[in-house]
Amino acid sequence: MNNKFRDKIDSFHQNLNHRDSVPERCYRRNNMNYRLVCYVNNIIALYLSSYFDAIPIFINRAFKEIIFLKKILKENKRKIPPYYNFVSEYLKLMADFR
């Protein structure tokens, strides 16, 4: 893997759980964003531990969760958090990693 690609992944890893990036209260199990955040953090953990074979499982789950959450928010005329687009960019990057 080239250094530029690794640097981009590392940058995402430094920002995906930053207080200013994640939806408010997302680490509470009853929060609608909890599963998405957990899927993303599983991807990070798998990458850092070099267990790359399982990453696609969580990429798929995270993409499906974003679609589901966006649908709910649109139906309730609520704003879609910027975190969803940020995570989508990360998921696309990680999908290309393999």
Query: Over the stretch 39-64, which tens digit does the pLDDT of each residue have?
Result: 999 999 999 999 999 999 999 999 99
pTM: 0.92
CA distances from 93 to 4, 28, 55 (A): 12, 27, 12
CA distance 51 to 62: 18
Split into its structural domains, the chain has a count of 1
The whole-number pLDDT of residue 98 equals 62
Asked if pLDDT for residue 1 goes beyond 70, the answer is no
Domain membership of residue 85 as a residue range: 3-97
